[in-house]
Structure 1
Amino acid sequence: MNDRQTHIEEPGPSELHSALVAHEMKRAGVWIALGIAVALVVLLAQPILLIMAALVLATMMDGGTRLVGRIAPIGRGWRLTIVLLAVLAFLVYTFYLTGSSLAAQAQAMRVIVETQVTRIGGWLQRLGVSTTPEDFKNLATQAMSSLGRVTAAVGTVVGIITSSVMMLVLAIFIAVEPKLYERGVAWMLPMNKRVSFYAVADRMGWTLRRLMFGRLIGMAVEGVGVWLLLWAGGVPMAALLGILTGLFAFLPNIGAIISGVLIILVGFSGGTSIGLYALGVYLVVQIVDGYLIVPMVAKRATDLAPALVLGAQILFGALFGIMGLFLADPIVAMIKVYLEERSKALEAERGSIIVTQSTG
């Protein structure tokens, strides 16, 4: 008998039907897909963050719409219109009617901060510290310039306005009919994954609404409280400091430090007594917000560890700039919700397997 007839042919390394080749091809495909995904995230960081910001903004709109619905049982479109008009009226009143005075105060504040930084540098030099005022200025410049690569792409006024308009329009579209887009994402998933997706999406929406509601309440309390208390104590630029404090309150931990430094620098520019009063106002407002408002609202919704939030802000701020700072807290909250819901689903699956094995 011919040797070729007795020998059983097996697939070689170049044969795609080989189990070894198929296995290695799958592994290579996974790594290639992972590399492409990382590259796309890096290249598309700015639009991805804009979409995330639009989702957070849409969640805030949805929360306001639900709140109006408790008072006025009207259509969702009308309730969303009321929310948008109220926000627009507030912005017009804040930046148009008081725009000229705030602009003048902002220019004066810049001069005051530079003067105070120079005084601190001179005081440290007299104490023997080899740090000059220019070092402080260079440090501040480096800190502002190292906020990330993403903001450099939209650093111009036109880029900022365009990105803001796109984000606002996208958020309004999502807030008008959020379930429509939720069903669209679920349609791309397998049938057996859609129930868990809806559960995770609902939980994320609820968590973000609570988180943003607590953040807005904290911003209002800190901004208005600082403004009124500084105004009553005769601290210069009380209105501008109140607005900046309210805006920076959106960034937990880091925002409080920035606003506190500004309040103290401006306060001590008016004298030691006014500076100490401004420091006391800052401490009182932070204590009220940190120990009363945040535990009652934000921490009950997310229960995020302060160190975790601060670490995420440092990481996202270094990678993605100011936008990363704003989105660090919501992104960490959504990741936490997903991991919790995934853990619950796995525990339920293990429980069902154990029950099946015990009954079998």
Structure 2
Amino acid sequence: MSETVPPPTPVERPGPADLSSGVVRDEARRAAVWIGMALLVVGAIVLAQPIMLIIGGMVFAIILDGGTRLLGRVLPIGRGWRLAIVTLAGFGFIGWVFYFAGTTLAEQAGALRDVVTAQANKLFATINEAGILPEGGLSNMSGQLMGGVGRLTSAVSTAVGALSSIVMVLVIGIFVAIEPRMYDRGFAWMLPMARRQGFYDISDHVGFVLRRLMFGRIVGMVVEGVGTWLMLLWGGVPMAALLGLLTGLLAFVPNIGAIVSGLLMVAVGFSAGTDTGLWAIATYFIVQTIDGYLIVPYVAKKTVDLAPALVLAAQLIFGALFGIMGLLLADPIVATIKTTLEDLAKRKGAAPTAEPRPKKSKA
């Protein structure tokens, strides 16, 4: 009778309930990381609009904070009073524009729409007569364009939605600008204590960069708006005030804003004649040259150097993902990400601090 060999005893491994095991804790950490990343992606998709409003409020808070700091250089009073002065001055200027120029600009806006529509129809008719595009190509292209614009502006598709979004951005920005350090401490509280000082340093640097970036952007908006208005007025181009205002506002969006304002300017110029159309083209190139070769390089030198192609790609991606708010905020978001990554790389490179090098002996 042969002796049966007993089966080998299975090796017992820790299960999910064995939280005291280091293996289980490591696996739980890995699972938490992947689950957190999945939830972060889902949250970014579902909560895209609120996230963009919060980021917009933070950018507005940075603008208010920069104005408050700048005013402090010439007016040595409390921060609260300086913030109140900057806020009231900003809202007062907007109210003045709407009060004194609202009726005129509204009339010009209606005329601008008619002029642009007429010029677009002439252009499409010329392209059709030349046979550049196949039959039905223009209609398909216009349908795709309007579909893309519809997706881009879906977040603010109604006047009520746009107004409520603007109010939320303003409220968030004012509250954050009143006490920015409180929100820094609240976010740092969720980090390990060993990493909090690094977070404060990076947060201060990002705030410094964005303040300079927004200041340069506002200077560019003023220069482009006022310069366009004066040159168009000098050349006899119709609706010079409205075109100057639109150019200044669109200057907040690099690359795309300049293209849109240029197309509007040229369309209105040629509607009044060939001479005014050529003057509008010259105005566009002169203003954009001053902004592109004087203001933008100076701002980039003082803040963070962003490649134009990188900014344009970010605008397209954020515009497709998050609508008009993503398009407007692409530039500061890219600047924030780049500054943060550069600071993290510097800190990581300086982390393994070696012993001080011995001084070279004077032989």
> Above 0.5 in TM-score?
yes
Provide Cα deviations, 1:147-197, integer angstroms capped at 9, x if missing partner: 1xxx52442222222221121111111111111221222222211111111
1:79 aligned residue:
82
Please, which runs of 5 or more residues in structure 1 have no aligned partner?
Answer: 1-6
2:97 aligned residue:
94
**Could you tell me how far 1:12 is from its partner in structure 2?**
4.5
Task: Spell out the pairing of 1:235-254 with structure 2 (5 A cutoff).
Answer: 235-254=237-256
- Contact 1:121–1:136 (Cα < 8 Å) also in 2: no
- Contact 2:108–2:239 (Cα < 8 Å) also in 1: yes
Distance change (3 Å), C-alpha of 1:110 and 1:143: farther
Task: Spell out the pairing of 1:171-182 with structure 2 (5 A cutoff).
Answer: 171-182=173-184
Q: Which deviates further from its counterpart, 289-298 or 29-38?
A: 29-38
1:43 aligned residue:
46
**Matched positions, count:** 350
Distance change (3 Å), C-alpha of 1:12 and 1:194: closer
Provide Cα deviations, 1:264-285, integer angstroms capped at 9, x if missing partner: 1111101111100000000000
1:229 aligned residue:
231
TM (normalized to structure 1)? Answer: 0.91
1:141 aligned residue:
146
**Superposition CA RMSD, Å:** 2.5
Distance change (3 Å), C-alpha of 1:23 and 1:202: closer
Please, which runs of 5 or more residues in structure 2 have no aligned partner?
Answer: 1-7, 359-363
**Could you tell me how far 1:139 is from its partner in structure 2?**
4.8
Aligned amino acid, residue 266 of structure 1: V
- Contact 1:16–1:22 (Cα < 8 Å) also in 2: no
1:301 aligned residue:
303
- Contact 2:270–2:276 (Cα < 8 Å) also in 1: yes
Q: Which deviates further from its counterpart, 8-17 or 310-319?
A: 8-17
Q: Say which SS state the counterpart of residue 186 (structure 2) adopts.
A: helix
- Contact 2:155–2:324 (Cα < 8 Å) also in 1: no
Task: Spell out the pairing of 1:201-216 with structure 2 (5 A cutoff).
Answer: 201-216=203-218
The structure with the greater share of residues assigned to helix is 1
Q: Which deviates further from its counterpart, 174-183 or 153-162?
A: 153-162
Alignment of 1:56 onto 2:59: yes
Identity %: 52
Task: Spell out the pairing of 1:323-342 with structure 2 (5 A cutoff).
Answer: 323-342=325-344
Provide Cα deviations, 1:302-345, integer angstroms capped at 9, x if missing partner: 11111111111110011111100111110111111111111111
Alignment of 1:11 onto 2:16: no
Task: Spell out the pairing of 1:285-324 with structure 2 (5 A cutoff).
Answer: 285-324=287-326
2:198 aligned residue:
196
Aligned amino acid, residue 145 of structure 1: G
Q: Distance in 2 between matches of 1:153 and 1:99?
A: 26
Alignment of 1:348 onto 2:350: yes
Q: Say which SS state the counterpart of residue 98 (structure 1) adopts.
A: helix
Alignment of 1:283 onto 2:303: no
Provide Cα deviations, 1:1-28, integer angstroms capped at 9, x if missing partner: xxxxxx8774257564377666555433
Task: Spell out the pairing of 1:97-108 with structure 2 (5 A cutoff).
Answer: 97-108=100-111
Q: Distance in 1 between matches of 2:16 and 2:213?
A: 55
2:267 aligned residue:
265
